[in-house]
Chain A
Amino acid sequence: MGLLDALFGKKKLKSASLDRLFALPTARVTLEVECGLVPAGAAAVVFKPMSTSEFARAESETEQLLDAAAAESGSKLERRTDGYGYVWVIVHDPDFEDLVTSTHVVSSELQAHGFGEQLLAAAFRFDRDERPVYLIYGYKRAAFWPFVPTGEGQERDNALELRVKGELDGVLPMEQDLSRWLALFDAPF
């Protein structure tokens, strides 16, 4: 199937897989005790909007539903478009489990409307000695990886990233292929 699709150039985009997002709350203790990562109460779903009216409708429906859900659970929502045209739905919630649930709702709503392919990643912010450390979930990879910007230009703290990965192996589904560790230097939260 995949080979034939590639041969005839009919390859489709891989769709998102969301289930493993829910593994994150179970890793919270490891994150805090072994890695020193304290949840910062913020996360974001990053997706690439499509230029079709159907997508715009799905997006606005998702937004309404989210606002209703957020009002109920007490999380705050923010929406931004970055310099590359990707949309960031940023969730603020002091409760870590609610935070994960809210990001799951955002992505599953988009997927329910048939736009799961457009999901790029979810990013969860943690703090470590006053510095941001992100745990990124790749929807197409169904795996997590750490992202630690040093704050100097586009540099990442690879040593810390690899240590975090080492601690989380076996606790969370971690991305083993380092060439897939997408960076999000312009994370607006």
Chain B
Amino acid sequence: MKRKAYGRSAGLSARMALTMFLLGLLYVVFFIVLVQLFNLGLGAVIVLMAALLGLQLFFSDRLALAAARAKIVERDEAPELHDMVERLSAMADLPKPRVAVIDSDVPNAFATGRSQKRAVVAVTRGLWQRLERREVEGVLAHELAHISNRDVVTMTIASFFSMVAAMLIRFSLYSSMFSGGNRDQNQLPVWAIMFIVSIVTYVLSYILIMAISRYREYAADRGAALITGQPENLMSALQKISSDMVRIPQKDLRQVAPMNAMFIVPTSWKASFGQLFATHPPLEKRIARLQEIALEMGRPVP
């Protein structure tokens, strides 16, 4: 694992990764308890999970806005921001999303909403104040690309499948242990095996989902380059955001921490948990990909 100059807040990063991990673990434990207590079948559990995630998806805009303490702003409150969002969404052939502002000094942005019509783009006050207009535009285009790629739905469905997979493995183990009948005294207790298997499948699926999330980030960077026609704006924005992140005191960072997966740059970079658990790819890789796209875009038309 490489240490990055900007990855100084190792403790914070670890805390955040742990929080997200534990949150997911809570889901798994919740369902194990449900199964054991109420003796629910596999089908019922999956339906229940789908319903919960469906609710989460349906209320994604309200949940995310409330969690980040973002406020929807009307046109007269932020005319320039509205102009930029409106034009970029016309370039991307999207309906204009709602615009929200987060009262934070950390430059960052996120997009959420269950559909393109219900989408919201939120930016922090810090983003608007610390970045140049063309850089803000690059960031907004990145968020619009998330909306265009339907990333909220994609990630919710991905986590649903990973949970179902974890359940299936647990159930098949459960039934094979009771139908096999070949048990001796030296074996671990059944609950311990099930517990370990659940954790292992959960860790694996968590890593997988983080990998998908990083891939979607590259895709959104690419989309931003296409929408603006100027990949270098996003490059300089990313550089500015991530260097600012380190300078700002941690107190501020902690307030926005739970929203990480949706932000353009996580509020701090992966450190002790390693790259496998990062929601976003490292800065230099994103910059390198954007440079490739810039080259690609400069090529003569066939």
Interface residues of A (CB under 8 A from B): 6-14, 48-55, 83-86, 113-114, 117-118, 120-121, 138, 140-141, 153-155, 177, 179-180, 182-183, 185-186
Contacts and interface: CB of A to CB of B under 8 A. Distances in A.
Contacts of A186: 83
24 contacts: A6-B149, A7-B154, A9-B218, A9-B219, A9-B223, A11-B149, A11-B223, A49-B229, A51-B229, A51-B232, A52-B298, A53-B298, A54-B298, A54-B301, A84-B87, A85-B137, A85-B230, A86-B87, A113-B301, A120-B90, A153-B76, A154-B75, A179-B96, A182-B96
A183 B298 CA distance: 30
A153 B76 CA distance: 8
Contact of A48 (B145, B148, B228): B228
Tell me if A's interface is mostly helix, strand, loop or mixed.
loop
Given A85-B133, A180-B95, 17 more contacts: A9-B216, A11-B145, A12-B226, A48-B228, A50-B297, A51-B232, A52-B298, A84-B133, A85-B137, A113-B301, A117-B226, A118-B91, A120-B87, A121-B90, A179-B95, A179-B117, A186-B83
A84 B84 contact: yes
Interface residues of B, number: 43
B8 to A, nearest CB: 31
B222 interface: yes
B231 to A, nearest CB: 8
Nearest to B84: A84
A118 B84 contact: no
Given A55-B229, A85-B137, A154 B220 contact: no
B150 interface: yes
A146 B124 CA distance: 32
Interface string B119-137: 0000000000000011001
Interface string B35-73: 000000000000000000000000000000000000000
Contacts of A84: 83-84, 87, 133, 137
A114 B229 CA distance: 13
B149 A140 contact: no
